[in-house]
Amino acid sequence: MGETTTLYRAKKIQVTPSQFFQPGEILIQNGKIRAIGNSIKTPKGCKIIEWKNSEIYPGLISPGSSLGLAEINALRPTRDLSEVGTHTPAIEAWVAVNPDSELIPVARANGITHSLIIPMGGMISGTSGLLQLHGWGIEEMVIKKRVALHLWWPGHGLSIPQPSHKSKTKPKSIADQDKERIKRITEINEYFDQAIAYQKLKQSGDQSFVQIPSWEAMIPVVEGKVPIMIHADESRQIKAAVQWAQKREYQIILSGARDSWKHADWLAENKIPVIFRHIFSAPPHRSSPHDYYFKAPGILARAGVSLSIGLPLGGWATANQRNLPYHAAHGVAHGFSREKALASITIEPAKALGMEKEMGTLQVGKHATFLCASGDILDLRTRVEKIVIQGIEVSVESRHTRLNQRYKDRPRR
């Protein structure tokens, strides 16, 4: 990391979502922030960088993507984002990240400095890692392993399909379907109970103990050392998932959370962090208003929920991670304050991922990870001009800027 001391001067520095210096100065040393303010006393030998027409923001944190795991989603050889099996807690998403994915610099060029890399497939899909979008190889880039265990809550939907004359079986009744969904929760409990039993057996030193990778991966989870990110969208799933976690006293993060705004007060009261990924989802019913989900972030934030904004998960959204600030921005015209919108892509995801001491704001002592932009980072017209990650100025070039340059310069025909 950078040994020298560097001072950046900017038109404005957004320290936290609610605090800024205009004009601002930020002093960094060894990749950390040493001082910040309107005007800082410049140490001897300090390098001074003038960004006088620009604004500095903390690096943006994407609370979930398949960056590095999916290159071109339509092409199977380039997909590593999902694994076979319904219960695979030992799967580690960060081990398969391609550090030279073309998608990474593209995301970074718009100020995304970190993304949680989430494994997919099955009900318990494994654990995620936090990727810093700069570094030589995955060992430098993965700055936190085992951020969370990922549990994809089973669906609660009820429906009666068209009776088919091909299959002789009658469609399942609503009552039977209800029984089944209760059974599925019982099965989740059983899996966690088995993990606890395994952990106790291991502690007891009994000779019958055999080391099993899946159960090993569950130990930090049942011991409460690794939180569980529960992916649940519908009201029914959200309620069931939160109640399940409360009963078992697990720390959870709610992800997806499409209907979470309907339970905003309850989620705030129970201090459940929420990652909302549905601002641009189609409203659920034809009769639902066009802005049904545009309003959701505002409702959640005003209720006091600790709210992050993310893109939908999966391969299709990977290439669009750069649009994270616009997913947050879209709530602003619909009751989401600009301050909370900024928080939802900086300090809130940092908190949810247990990294608030290192990142998320530009307070002294944290990583010197920030971006410099031509204006408001939430504005779609704003250009990101520079990126600094842990004190190192990182290129904002990408496949896109290279191709742009090449063809802009093509001689006229």
Partner 1 sequence: MISSTRAFLFIGVCFCLLKPLYPKTEFPYPGDRPNGITLHAFVGGDIQVTPEKKIRRGTLIIRDGKIEAVGKNLKIPDGCREWNCTNQTIYAGFIDPYLLSGSENPKFLELNHDEHIHATADLSFHGIPSTGQDPGEKGPGFEVSGVHPQRKLMDGLQTEERKWGKLRKFGFTSAHLAPSEGIFRGTGPFVLLSDQEPNELILKNEVSQIIAFDPVGKKSSPPVYPVSLMGVLSVIRQTILETKYTNERARFESKNPVNLRLMPHTGVRALSRSLGERKSIPIWIEPGSCLMNAKAMEIAQEFELNNPVIIATGDEWRNPKISLSPHHDYILPMIFPTIPDLPNPEDWEQISLDQLRAWDHAPSMARLLNEMTRTISFTTSETEPGEFHKNLLQSIARGLPENSALASLTTNPAQICGVDKICGTLEASKLANFFIVSGETYFTENPRIESTWIQGRPFFHYPDQGVTDSNSTEKRNEQTSKLAQHPSRLNKPVLRPTSVLFSGFNLWSCEEESILLNHDILIENGKISKIGLNLKTKLPKGCKVILGKGRHLTPGIIDCHSHAMILGRVNESTLPSTAMVRIADVVNSESINIERQLAGGVTICNLLHGSSNPIGGQNAVIKLRLGESPNKLIFKKAPQGIKFALGENVKQANWGDKYTTRFPQSRMGVKMFFQNRFGAALFYEKKLKNAAEQGLPFRRNLELDAILEIIRGKRFIHCHSYRQDEILVFLRTMEGFGVRVGSLQHVLEGYKVADEISRHGAGASTFSDWWAYKFEVYDAIPYAGAIMHERGCVVSFNSDSPDHARRLNLEAAKAVKYGGLSEMEALKFITLNPAKQLGIDPWVGSLKVGKDADIAIWSGNPLDYRSRCVQTWVDGILFHEIEASAERDKKRADERLSLVTKAQQSLKKEISIEPSEKAKSKFFRYSLESACDLYPHSCRSNENHAQCLHQ
Q: Hey, which residues between 236 and 295 contact partner 1 (CB under 8 A)? A: 236, 239, 259, 280-291
Comparing C-alpha atoms, which of 299, 296, 308 is closest to residue 272?
308
CB atoms within 10 A of CB 91: 24
Stretch that binds partner 1, among 8-16, 170-178, 213-221, 299-307 (CB under 8 A): 170-178
155 binds partner 1 (CB under 8 A): no
Shortest gap between Cβ of 379 and partner 1 (angstroms)?
A: 6
108 binds partner 1 (CB under 8 A): no
93 binds partner 1 (CB under 8 A): no
In the beta sheet, which residues pair with residue 5? 29
Shortest gap between Cβ of 30 and partner 1 (angstroms)?
A: 34
Q: Interaction with partner 1 in 186-245: which residues (CB under 8 A)? A: 234-236, 239
Shortest gap between Cβ of 407 and partner 1 (angstroms)?
A: 5
Q: 350 to each of 71, 307, 368, 389, how far by Cα in Å?
A: 26, 11, 14, 15
Comparing C-alpha atoms, which of 185, 156, 159, 154 is closest to residue 174?
159
178 binds partner 1 (CB under 8 A): yes
386 binds partner 1 (CB under 8 A): no
Residue closer to partner 1, measured from CB, 88 or 110:
110
Residue closer to partner 1, measured from CB, 247 or 290:
290
Site string for partner 1, 340-379 (x = CB under 8 A): --------------------------------------xx
168 binds partner 1 (CB under 8 A): no
In the beta sheet, which residues pair with residue 62? 115
318 binds partner 1 (CB under 8 A): yes
Stretch that binds partner 1, among 9-17, 174-182, 190-198, 359-367 (CB under 8 A): 174-182
Q: How many residues bind partner 1 (CB under 8 A)?
A: 72
CB atoms within 10 A of CB 27: 22
Token pair 């080391």: residue: 211
72 binds partner 1 (CB under 8 A): yes
Burial class (CB in 10 A: 0-12, 13-18, 19+), 31: middle
Q: Which two tokens stand for residue 341?
A: 């919108």
Residues 6+ apart with CB under 8 A from 114: 59, 60, 61, 62, 130, 131, 132, 133, 143, 359, 369
